[in-house]
Amino acid sequence: MDALELVRIQGLEVAVRIWHPDAPRTVIAWHGLARHGGDFAAFARELGPQWRVLAPDTPGRGLSSWSLLPAHDYRYSRYMKVAIALLDHFRLEQVAWVGTSMGGLVGMLLAADPDTAHRIERLVLNDVGPELDTKGLAQLGFHFGRLHQFSTFGQLEEELRRHYTGFGIDSDDAWRQLALDSARRLPDGSWTYHYDPRIGEQFIHDTPRDIWADWAAIRCPLMVLRGADSPLLRSDSVTRMTEVQPGLVSVEVANCGHAPMLDRPSQVAPIADFLSRPRWQLIRSDQSHPMPFWWQRLVIWVKGLAAR
């Protein structure tokens, strides 16, 4: 991290980690449910000095404020407002967006909403889409819906290795760094994770489960990375995503589940190419005349009947 900016947004302090602050181009990198912006350190290095990477810590995570009203603040509609406030703060009328899991859903919802779609210039989804496996979601909800407390730092690292095996991390040094970035010491000397335990209530309030109409409404260039062993994003879902959005660029990451860490050249190079290519090379010609919303819903409904 080259800089840290603390932005006050409606009573909450939001920490934004920044790499290459003077770079000519900017990308927003938004993390997953229980992670923070620090996960994008290697991504920023691999992407290169021509890109300023802004990686916010979502409220309740990392260095950002915890909410006194989780039912209000730990929801996608709230994250969308935080995101737009950050774009305004950094004077970004339009920006490329790379989102892992929850961060990808936030970007997708922004790109689909008529009021905010113009702010997302292109969108990269990291192991997430408009349809997620319900069993995988239930497992996430169970894991993050309870307090994790460890007597030693070593126990915390062992638990991280078990739960985040899908990240595809392949070195002890990387696991140790993940543990260092994830740990928080409690007053009694024990250890827990960096995030507010109540972020799991997001699964109660408004986790998007089936947002195909939003997916169909997006008109910016799109890319999706899927971990080959992902328990959340199925390969048939990516196939359907391409049917709805024929211009979708898709990449499958071998030996990885949920979600690729975007920490090595083989994962970052396709993203760098997607971000750097001229928009006219990525966008379909018919996207300049989007279908009416009611027609998008009808098309999705008919396709759903045909698949049964």
φ, ψ at 72 (rounded to 5°): -95, -45
Name the nearest CA neighbour of 39 among 55, 25, 27: 55
Q: Residue 73 domain-assigned?
A: yes
What distance, in Å, lies between the first and last C-alpha atoms of the chain? Answer: 49
**Whole-number Cα distances in Å, 23 to 49, 50, 123, 287:** 6, 5, 20, 30
Q: How many CA atoms lie within 13 A of 212 on its CB side?
A: 21
Three-point CA angle 187, 192, 194, nearest 5°: 100
Q: What residues form DSSP beta bridges with 192?
A: 184
Q: Report the pLDDT averaged over residues 67-79.
A: 93
Q: Is residue 159 situated within a structural domain?
A: no
9 has which bridge partners? Answer: 12
Per-residue pLDDT at 295: 45
Task: Give the Cα separation of 194 and 237 in Å (integer).
Answer: 32
Q: Which residues pair with 226 in a beta bridge?
A: 252
**Amino acid, single-letter form, for residue 222:** L
Beta-strand ranges (E) seen in 110-152 are 120-126
Residue 282 lies inside a defined structural domain of this protein: yes
Beta bridge partners of 125: 99, 224
Number of domains in the chain: 1
Q: Is residue 199 part of a domain?
A: no
Instruction: For residue 202, tell me if it sits in a domain.
Output: no
Cis (ω within 30 of 0) for the bond into 83?
no
**Does pTM surpass 0.85?**
yes
Instruction: Establish if 160 belongs to a structural domain.
Output: no
What is the per-residue pLDDT across 284-298, written as a single tens digit (0 to 9) for each? 644 544 444 444 445
> What digits encode the pLDDT tens for the residues 234-285?
999 999 999 999 999 999 999 999 999 999 999 999 999 999 999 888 876 4
Would residue 148 count as lying in a domain? no
Q: Note whether 51 and 22 are within 8 A (CB).
A: no
- The answer to whether residues 105 and 79 touch, using CB atoms and an 8 Å cutoff, is no
Q: How far apart are CA 258 and CA 90, in angstroms?
A: 30
Using one digit for the tens of pLDDT, what is the confidence trace for 41-62?
999 999 999 999 999 999 999 9
- Taking the CA atoms of 291, 287, 274 and 113 in sequence, report the sign of the dihedral they define: negative
> Which pLDDT tens digit goes with each residue over 163-220?
888 888 989 999 999 999 999 999 999 999 999 999 988 877 776 666 999 999 999 9
* pLDDT score recorded for residue 284: 61
The answer to the question of residue 184 being in a domain is no
Q: Structural domain of residue 125, as residue ranges? A: 3-132+210-307
Question: What's 58's domain CATH number?
Answer: 3.40.50.1820
The sign of the dihedral angle between the CA atoms of 186, 192, 193, 198 is: negative
